[in-house]
């Protein structure tokens, strides 16, 4: 017996494709919508190969309301997961209007169309960037949000506010915002993973591309921070674990497990890992040496942040399970698959 159907906007992207797999595995119907601005059809094919299900796919830009409306007309679904957003912090500083237009218009269209077609539940992909440089660690959902340090981070804060206000104003709408920490890794099948266009903005793809010889040298930005080894500390969450958190959020809303109509959850491991620690762990797990150098600090980087995931553990019934060793092995297996390395 198939459960209800979920529209996954941005479902050909890194987190979207992994979440689509986990939704199908959990018995949900899935429709993927994506405009391929930062993704490829290969990810949709990967989802289909892993699950053995011919998951429907629509190429559409969520910012194009009339084109997007056709998806609501064509498919029956009662839940939406919104991943369709631009996500590079540095690029957002250089191209703020691109980020405001893309990230906010897409969400406004989703909320309007959900109301128009009577669709109820939305899971929003938020970020720990909303906490800025927190005053104490680990961060809980009660940790105050701080003024955003980038247009990207600001779009996450504004989007959370839009959802909170919409849910308060419009009966029948429910939302869960998942504030993720740093997603890394790939599916154990090596059929889907993170495939950035151009120079990677995130640490692990840069590590794997350096290991594969695509990048000459990995820069570690700063070794003079007030941390045990001087490099920044983050909470690295396996993308498959993160995907399962979205399934837990959907089932919480679909099965009416809560009277709350707008909820927020931190999705992380609860453990801070430094950049240098991650580099050395990758070398150890995959039995190779990385060419890396210490570079000057990078503007806008915060010193340290990691999650207190206990609310997600207790209320959502979700917990990060995959070890850092498994995650880094999967990331390298995916890179080798993409590059045809034996």
What's the whole-model pTM score? 0.98
User: What phi, psi does 81 have (nearest 5°)?
Assistant: -115, 125
Instruction: Measure the CA dihedral 18/256/129/244, to 10°.
Output: -20
Contact in structure between 181 and 237 (CB atoms under 8 Å): yes
Interatomic CA distance for residues 140 and 206, integer angstroms: 29
Which pLDDT score, from 0 to 100, does residue 88 have? 87
- Give the pLDDT of the chain (342 residues) as one tens digit per residue: 568 999 999 999 999 999 999 999 999 999 999 999 999 999 999 999 999 999 999 999 999 999 999 999 999 999 999 999 999 888 999 999 999 999 999 999 999 999 999 999 999 999 999 999 999 999 999 999 999 889 999 999 999 999 999 999 999 999 999 999 999 999 999 999 999 988 998 999 999 999 999 999 999 999 999 999 999 999 999 999 999 999 999 999 999 999 999 999 999 999 999 999 999 999 999 999 999 999 999 887 899 999 999 999 999 999 999 999 999 999 999 999 999 998
The single residue of 152, 180, 225, 236 carrying the catalytic annotation is 152
Select from 120, 185, 213 the least CA-distant residue to 330: 185
CB burial of 24-52 (b: ≥16 within 10 Å; e: otherwise) equals beeebbbbbbbbeebbeeebbbbbbebbe
Could you say which of 3.40.980.10, 2.130.10.10, 3.40.50.300, 3.40.50.720 is the CATH number of the domain covering 5-184+237-268?
3.40.50.720
End-to-end Cα, the chain, rounded Å: 41
Active site residue 262: no
């Amino acid at each position: 017996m198939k459960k209800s159907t979920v529209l996954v906007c941005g479902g050909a992207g890194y987190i979207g494709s992994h979440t689509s797999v986990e939704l199908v595995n959990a018995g949900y119907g899935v429709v993927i919508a994506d405009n391929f601005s930062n993704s490829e059809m290969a990810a949709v094919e990967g989802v289909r190969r892993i699950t053995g299900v011919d998951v429907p796919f629509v190429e559409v830009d969520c910012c194009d309301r009339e084109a997007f409306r056709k998806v609501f007309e064509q498919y029956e679904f009662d839940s939406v997961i919104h991943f369709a957003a631009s996500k590079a912090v540095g690029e957002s500083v250089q191209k703020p209007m691109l980020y405001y237009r893309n990230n906010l218009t897409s969400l406004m269209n989703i909320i309007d169309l959900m109301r128009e077609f009577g669709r109820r539940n939305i899971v929003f992909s938020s970020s720990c960037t909303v906490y800025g440089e927190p005053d104490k660690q680990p961060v809980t959902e009660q940790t105050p949000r701080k003024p955003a340090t980038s247009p990207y981070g600001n779009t996450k804060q504004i989007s959370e506010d839009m959802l909170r206000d919409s849910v308060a104003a419009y009966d029948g709408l429910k939302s869960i915002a998942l504030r993720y920490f740093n997603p890394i890794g790939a599916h154990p099948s090596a059929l889907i993973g993170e495939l950035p266009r151009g120079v990677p903005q995130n640490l692990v793809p840069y590590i794997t591309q350096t290991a594969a010889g695509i990048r000459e040298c990995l820069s570690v930005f700063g070794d003079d921070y007030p941390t045990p080894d001087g490099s920044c500390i983050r909470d690295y969450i396996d993308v498959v674990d993160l995907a399962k958190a979205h399934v837990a959020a959907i089932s919480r809303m679909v099965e009416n497990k809560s009277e709350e109509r707008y909820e927020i959850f931190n999705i992380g491991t609860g453990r801070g890992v430094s950049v240098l620690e991650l580099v050395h762990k990758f070398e150890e797990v995959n039995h190779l040496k990385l060419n890396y150098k210490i570079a000057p600090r990078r503007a806008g980087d915060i010193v340290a942040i990691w999650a207190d995931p206990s609310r997600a553990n207790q209320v959502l019934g979700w917990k990060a399970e995959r070890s850092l060793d498994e995650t880094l092995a999967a990331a390298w297996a995916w890179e080798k698959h993409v590059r045809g390395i034996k």
